[in-house]
Amino acid sequence: MFQAVRTFARSPRFTKDPRKLQFEVDINRLFMYTSYNNLGKNVDEADAEQIIDMASKASFADQQKQVQENIHNQIKNLCTVMDAILLDVNEPQESQSKATPSRSGLSFAIGRNGPTNNHPDVPKTRPLKRTELSQRLKDSIGYTLDVKQSRIPHSEAGQGLFLNGEATVGSVIAIYPGVIYSPAYYRYIPGYPRVDAQNTYLITRYDGTVINAQPWGFGGETRELWDGSKMLDAKLNRDATEKGSDRFWKMLSKPLESSRVGNGEVLERRNPLALAHFANHPAKDTVPNVMICPYDFPLTEKDMRAYIPNLSFGNAEEVNMRRFGSFWFRWGSRNSESNGPVLKTLVLVATTALCDEEVLLNYRLSNSKRRPSWYTPVDEEEDQRRWS
């Protein structure tokens, strides 16, 4: 099956546009991995052959739809497990806090402009510490995640993400948390336009959506009303390490401030899988064991919302953006979702069976910019297609 994944990338049935080609190849891989996982533990060789045959015949749109369904089913199962651990069905769900979150620069940016009484109630949950919840999740689904010193042999590796337990091919390993910015709101990303100068926790989907995981940090110890204001403790002193060119860019173009009103969301900050931003790029001659998968979480699934560790900046439905080359332009008046509003998130999916090991993700850094000295491309052609 895994040889088939590599073979399909060279098939002439895919689009000729390099960027879209890479996206279609990735969806094709995800279709096979997640469909394989969907069959459960009793999968056999005949089932794998059938999946390969389906992948060779199904349209891109059908594969994309199936991937979304496969991922959603896994996330839904995760939410059900977490509910069973955290909620007492025999007790009424009373509010444990109605406190207004503290204000910060980012909270101003996403609309904390004054006191409000419209904050949603925070339901009562069992008083488990994050480590306790993590262990109980492992007992239920077979794995959880730890953040500790990376085993990658270079000085900038820092902390890495580790799978604790066992996971099968196609499993959702981690969710990428944080604040979501559509292309219409790029100028609101902290540090704009040099958004990555002091922030290594940014990631971009193929559709241009950017997720900033820095505010999420390591999560928290409660289910709480979160407005994106709790920042990750930085290892570096920005005043001491900021280069002159970075200060120059900040003076020229500060991030815009937003007047859009928002009250935050009640999120489970103890979520053990909301740590995808700690996954490292593999060292030379080492292959990644997970891959990025776009996941559009339907906001109609209110019972699952607390476990999706993301907030959307502004109103993602206000404006439709279309990409031309390296630029994004407004296109039409509104971006309507045929199936209702969604959060455009990302998850990490296992590309092989995992067991008590570091989670490694191919960063696919653009070759149009100077790459870090530690970065070795996993596949230079993929990198070129991704950013063409």
Which tens digit of pLDDT belongs to each residue from 2-57? 555 555 555 555 556 888 999 999 999 999 999 999 988 777 778 888 898 999 99
- The CA distances from residue 142 to 128, 146, 206, in Å, are 19, 14, 31
Alpha helices (H) in 225-334, listed in sequence order: 238-241, 244-252
In what helix (H) or strand (E) does residue 349 lie, and over which residues does it extend?
Answer: strand 342-350
Q: What is the pLDDT of residues 99-109, one digit of tens each?
A: 444 444 444 44
* Residue 348 · residue 359 · CB < 8 Å: yes
Structure tokens given for 343: 């959060």
Q: How far apart are CA 71 and CA 33, in angstroms?
A: 11
Q: Tell me the CA distances in angstroms from 246 to 197, 368, 370, one per residue in order.
A: 7, 19, 16
Peptide bond preceding 183: is omega within 30 degrees of 0, i.e. cis?
A: no
Residue-wise pLDDT for 344-374, tens only, equals 999 999 999 999 999 999 999 887 778 888 9
Q: Which residues lie below 8 Å from residue 222, measured CB to CB, with a gap of 6+?
A: 125, 269, 270
Has residue 214 got a pLDDT over 50?
yes
pLDDT over 90 (residue 199)? no
pLDDT for residue 322: 55
Question: Count of CB atoms within 10 A of residue 278's CB?
Answer: 21
In this model, does residue 337 exceed pLDDT 60? no
Cβ atoms of 292 and 346 closer than 8 Å: yes
Instruction: Please give the model's pTM, rounded to 2 decimal places.
Output: 0.81
Whole-number pLDDT of residue 91: 57
The answer to whether residue 375 scores a pLDDT higher than 50 is yes
Look up residue 183 and give its amino acid: P
What tokens does 180 get? Answer: 């979501």
172-175 vs 143-149, strand pairing mode: unpaired
pLDDT of residue 42: 76
Q: Is the pLDDT of residue 338 over 60?
A: no
Name all domains of the chain by residue range, CATH numbers in brackets: 10-86+124-231+244-387 (2.170.270.10)
Could you report the per-residue pLDDT of 99-144, keeping only the tens digit for each?
444 444 444 444 444 444 566 788 899 999 999 999 999 999 999 9
Residue 245 has pLDDT above 80, yes or no: no
